[in-house]
Structure 1
């Protein structure tokens, strides 16, 4: 991806985080901030809105850090664990779902015993994770990305949410969880589109990078190896056929 599209992807992610945080916060913080808009106290409302936008900027930044960590972890896991990596991801997803409920319930709700107030967080994350993973898997035709997408949407979102789950005020949870889920979904689904647009622009300009030249060489070598394998397989078939004919002739001559 060129720097132009990387910067565009980065700032649009930040903008999305700020907008969603502001919208959610104006609903959850109606009494503290939003009501000032309807009574004409625009200064108070503007101060609260700026604070919401700043908090959204923080959430979006945390999401971006988690996303780039995921881009490092996923190929590393594929290289280390190979065929076991999808099963390990599923185990981590299960652990993350349990942790989302247990950490907050153990700290704030254990004495009250009100499970419903704490179990809605993992439910939202899991439902959003399945929807986004299904969407991503549908778009990525020919590749199976459901489990990696689910892993990112559930496990990495859970990791990013841990600092915010230590706060008892549910308003913080609302403005954090919805923003994280939306921004994570945006990054996961839109990154390939930005990469494709960047490559298309480079092709139109006639720019070919070193990485692209190396990729073309690897593709040509792979095609050459495939042709060689097909040629060797054809020779093996011919040799087997000749051996079969010779054996048939020998058996016929022996019978005579």
Structure 2
């Protein structure tokens, strides 16, 4: 959101406007307080003024982030930066290079790779595996993916402005925050629970375990109907903790009647 605000300021907060032309992850830096800073202004151009719809320019930028409309027409507009930012949004969701070469030497752009899954709402099919393991809000990830596809449509004028991009991201984040349940207070004997997904089945399993007096942390996600779950249990000097993504049907029985009997990641 911070990076989008920065680019929007270049487009709409300065007269004449400035088009960056090289928006990519390595040109978005993080400050001491984790604020985003847009950097590297070596390729910037002044944007259209007055009744102009574009400025003519030789194609400059980084492959993978270059707007095809700009490459084919040499017409540079603020929407050129919007396209590049859309690619970055997809990378944030999928943790994948903008252009990836397969073993057959055929190049695959992240847009073509991600589009089918996003259009059918299956964001988990392309989601960064680290986010799948650690847990994230799938609704927010899907909204980011859908916004990214709008940023990279072929016709530049049909793309959102950078101001609309950061406003929609901020609104989506606020919507997600508003729907999060506040943490429930726990007494000293209650287990410590960390739930990264909010499905009813997960909540039910956690509630069943909450009657015990063990410290337990849990996260879960479902991929193609296969539940991937990880857990950490501490009972006195005994410790059990999952690590890798290997889904097994496992039953673990512990003292005092505590048991786990469902698919777990070990």
Same fold by TM (over 0.5)? no
Q: Which has the higher contact order (CA 8 A, sep 6+)?
A: 1
**Which has more helix, going by share of residues?**
1
Larger Rg: 1
The TM-score, its normalising length taken from structure 1, stands at 0.27
The TM-score, its normalising length taken from structure 2, stands at 0.26
